Every structure is written in structure tokens, then in C-alpha cells.
Amino acid sequence: MTAREAAPTQAAPHVLVPSPSSPPRRSALDETSTVEVRWILLGQLDAAVTGWFGRFTGGMESREDAYLTDPVLRGLSVKIRAGQMLEVKQYDGSPGIHDTAGLARGRLESWRKWSFPFGPLGPNIVGTPGWTVVQKRRRMSRFRLARGRLVTGARQRATESACAVELTEVRVNDETWWTLGFEATGRPDLLLSTLQNTAALVFAQPPPGDVVFDMSHCQSYAEWLSRRPSNGGWRVNKATSAGSP
């Protein structure tokens, strides 16, 4: 199924707003500021798109993440990553619209993320309402900014800026979707330019066929899931990975 054949998600007003207060920092394992943009499309991931993305080195992993979808937390995204890490993200507004030569257009989002150790899950967790499980098979390449140039295939250093690019097939409630996402981390003053330069590099070769990354498909996981019915419960298995963390 091509992206044009698949029914796009309906365009809707951007409902995220910055939350009035920050999550507590005490005992957090990690705190990160990011600039992100993501497109989510209905249907199976096409082999041609996988080949287009595969020209960059990277890793693969399969895992299940559980997202808190009820109640909807205004300006926050909460998930349990692979049953091992609690991640809380606070929306910090949009720095603008990203547009790469008409091939990819979407709303940029700034986030702050806190990660906490979590687990193991107990048997009383199974069936807890309000959580939605997303099964992911993810391909990811990471580009870091070194001496003013983007390089790939190397681990990001603490003082460097980088942008992770992921191509992921996801399953929710027996439906298959796929997503392309960019996430820039590192120096706050370089987040936006690092993402834009990485996107320019990725889209230097146009996507295959009639694949279009436009505003109607642009949304975060949190925004996408908030529009979907809950699966009535959740269960997370330990991740199995063969590449990026």
C-alpha cells in the first residue's frame, strides 16, 4: 500500500500547549531538550521506502512501548519504554514550520524529556485501563555535528549536537502504520539548525513513488494516540534489539 492510497489522518488544530509546570527533576536518570518533527502514515512500510532510508548506516530494534492515553495530559507525553524506562516529555512550543524543498513539510516541536528507571512490571499491571501499547520495528540512523559537518555512524559526544532519524513500522489495535521522525539533541542553540541540515541531507534524494510527507500526516505519537480509542489495557514485553538503544 502506498502513502497516497492509504487514508491520511485528518488535519486538526494543533492541540498541544506548554504545561504550566515542569516534572520533578529529583532522581531522574536523564534530562534532554529536543526539537522534533514526525509524520505518521497508515499502511505497511513499503520496501522502496525502506531501501531509500537504508542508504544511511544505522541499527534496528523491535520493542513495545506503553503510552498513557487516558486521561489526556495537556502538554505532556508519558510512556513506559520497553517495560524498563518511564519517560515524561513536556511540550515547550513550536519553533516554526519545517519545509524541505516541498518534499517534507511539518510543524516543528520543542520538548523536554525526563527518563526514570522503571520495573520490573508486576502481574497486577496487566489490564490496567488508560494505556495503549504500540509495537515498533524501528530503523534508526544518527547524524552528529562535528566541526560544522554532519557525519553518521559514530556515537554522539556529550558536547556535540546530533539528530536521530527513524523509520518505524508500528502496530496498534491490529492496525499497521509507519512513521518517519527526526529528533535533534545537544546544544540548545544548535537544535533547530541540526535538524534542518539533517533533513536536507536525508531528502537530498527524494522519497520513492508518490510518498508525501505533508502537514496532514505530521504529528507526535502523543497527538496521534490521543485521537485513537483506547485498547482497554496494556502489557509491555522486554525489548529485543539489534542496534540502536
Q: What are the structural domains, with CATH classification, of the chain?
A: 30-231 (2.40.320)
The three cell numbers of residue 159 are 558536547
CA dihedral sign, ordered 171, 172, 178, 183: negative
pLDDT at 183: 97
Q: Choose among 241, 165, 176: nearest CA to 200.
A: 165
Listed as own residue / partner, the contacts of 144-151 with beta carbons closer than 8 Å and 24 or more positions apart are 145/186, 145/190, 145/194, 145/197, 150/194, 150/197, 150/198, 150/201
* Cα–Cα dist 56/205, whole Å: 12
pLDDT at 28: 53
DSSP run (H or E) holding 145 = strand 131-146
* pLDDT by residue, tens only, the chain of 245 residues: 444 444 444 433 334 444 444 444 445 567 899 999 999 999 999 999 999 999 998 899 999 999 998 888 888 999 998 888 899 999 999 999 999 988 999 999 999 999 988 766 555 444 568 888 899 999 999 998 777 778 776 565 656 789 999 999 999 988 999 999 999 999 999 999 999 999 999 999 999 988 989 999 999 999 999 876 544 333 333 333 333 33
pLDDT at 74: 84
